[in-house]
Structure 1
């Protein structure tokens, strides 16, 4: 059975006019239930994590500053969200959801988190709506529990996974692959193990050609026993913060290819949702829902 992390705290109210589309976290599971793609049994509610798991990736001083709300104005401003104790609790629970989803993926081949993909979080700072790097923490959790040795992170959000690159910059046991918009945030990028920068307006044909040429080669070379997939839908031409030109059909084919490849090669995969900032919420919800629809179709 497909297992999906979702907690009511994911849908945390933000000040009116804030550009982060928090409502998508409520609307995606509602859509999946409404259309019959999922039932309530597919969803699990993550608990607060063991902080030792978070501290295996993030500096204790940074974690304590978040919990105590003692970040400087500049540090908080880089995150871009109105900080509160409740928001920090939300980040802990999202991270726990990805850890638990990784555990489910080992059993079922795939598992997902309605939220997550917080790839701009560094070891000692947050930025770009990200405070803890959920997939990095889950990768370390797998390794610390001897559940995986070599991990591949496939980051197909429109923004480079700069925090993920920094966290694993000297660690050959985790290979970081980011394919993103060349001229998108972050404007100062880190060095992933493999970065593919795409020009403004890159559409379905070129995007998929590059992905289908790259992913099999990486898997053959790196031979991972676990994959984390960040499935941001901000590659859409309709995205307000992205600069690429993909259609919803192209985004769906991207997800199909990644999931089918993992399935065929029998490599467990955890999927976190990542970004999506189209002007119309229906575009965001439908593109994200496609990822879950495909997981059901391919695996179950």
Structure 2
């Protein structure tokens, strides 16, 4: 990416016209082939990790149900409670609320996973964590009033259930998805990649939920990741400052503690340290406060959300605008003729690709290639990519209304992962998001199997990826 493009790309409400095809398909193919042939030791996802293994363990201890995962575990996050069931009422909505278990079962059956013990188990995001983005009024309503849950899930019969039952069978699982997304982002920063077998609730914003999305797990996860990295870097700075000669400690600590984009805090650290005694420890303490505070205010990591769900990710866009987050970038490719048609939220999209109903593989994949090529040219190099990989783009999906085949979804996901590794050189956290066709879970499993095989994500497990199932197109 062009380093000089960073300043211009920070402005909100920038629209980028994306051509129908990449400018040079042959050059793109050659670059991909060259990257694929590179030494795996230097070109794998581990090479794009942002922090050392274990550096974020303390910051995510409240969201990890067991000890911080070691190398024998994969950065794949899942909890059985992701799956929602309440007396069959959930089947009145086209969303398959049990697809997450189906995906994991298929991955185990096909040998993509060696066992469930390779998975990482999250904890629910607490109301206190949700308050980092959501308003107190909305959190009160979603946790106490059935009507709000009915609005979010679009299932009127839920209004008749006792609220405690509704919280247990619907809202608590949704909070588990949020915890999983947050945890997956932290793991991606350490490992270079991660998958939350769930999440991607991109329609929710600070004061409302909609479209089966009660909480904005994406922006919540981004803000948590920024604080976690700032804390880890500040801790490293404190250690470096304590070990350095006293005269050099302030500058060393300030520099080491500063995440991307925090140059101002770094510049102020030496002077602040001098005012409190000029010691390395004082500089480290100042750096810790400055880095964590700046991260909470929206600085720190530059994050790119690649949203390929069939629907516009309006909740993420609204929260980006409301928070004034100049370090959050959005590439959103969606069917422009369906829900939610949120013109106000479109102002947050940096690269907008609106598709027509019925769009099939060739056009879909060409427009995606062109959008990624454009992102590499006009957006800053991201520190983290959050990939919202909805399968409601499948032909026959009753809500997405696009015409992408199962094989097209597999190719799409591989294209995004390869771009992150070889072009953006950024960690990727993948979320499953929407998908309402009957074969959605099978297509997701086939795509993950392909990713595991192509990028050797689980050495020693199944060597070959199964063919993608037919989507009925």
List alignment gaps of at least 5 residues for structure 2.
1-72, 160-165, 231-299, 458-473
Task: Please state if 1:96 is matched with 2:179.
Answer: yes
Task: Please state if 1:295 is matched with 2:451.
Answer: yes
**How far is 1:236 from its partner?**
0.8
TM normalised by structure 2 equals: 0.59
Bigger Rg over Cα = 2
Which segments of structure 1 move beyond 4 Å, counting only runs of 4 or more?
none
More deviation, 97-106/156-165? 97-106
Correspondence for 1:274: 433
What's the secondary structure of 1:125's corresponding residue?
coil
**How far is 1:188 from its partner?**
3.5
Pair 47,75 (structure 1): closer, same or farther in 2 beyond 3 Å = closer
Correspondence for 2:289: none
Cα contact 1:183–1:243 (8 A) shared by 2: no
Pair 114,299 (structure 1): closer, same or farther in 2 beyond 3 Å = same
Distance 2:125 2:363 in 1: 40
Match of 2:302 among 121, 125, 150: 150
Distance 1:259 1:299 in 2: 13
What's the secondary structure of 1:102's corresponding residue?
helix
Distance 1:213 1:201 in 2: 19
The number of residue pairs the alignment matches comes to 295
Cα contact 2:353–2:371 (8 A) shared by 1: no
Match of 2:138 among 62, 65, 89: 62
TM normalised by structure 1 equals: 0.92
Pair 149,188 (structure 1): closer, same or farther in 2 beyond 3 Å = closer
Cα contact 2:76–2:119 (8 A) shared by 1: yes
- Per-residue Cα deviation, 1:262-289 (whole angstroms, up to 9, x for no partner): 12243111111011111x3xx2122111
Distance 2:397 2:226 in 1: 35
> Residues 1-300 of structure 1: matches in 2 within 5 Å?
2-14=74-86, 15-16=88-89, 17-19=91-93, 20-38=95-113, 39-67=115-143, 69-70=144-145, 73=147, 76-81=150-155, 82=158, 84-86=166-168, 87-146=170-229, 149-169=301-321, 170-189=324-343, 190-191=345-346, 192-193=348-349, 194-220=351-377, 221-264=379-422, 265-278=424-437, 280=438, 283-297=439-453, 298-300=455-457
**How far is 1:135 from its partner?**
1.4
Distance 1:222 1:13 in 2: 42
Cα contact 1:230–1:271 (8 A) shared by 2: yes
Structure with the higher helix share, 1 or 2: 2
- Per-residue Cα deviation, 1:198-217 (whole angstroms, up to 9, x for no partner): 01111111111111111132
Distance 2:226 2:376 in 1: 18
List alignment gaps of at least 5 residues for structure 1.
none
Correspondence for 2:468: none
Structure with the higher strand share, 1 or 2: 1
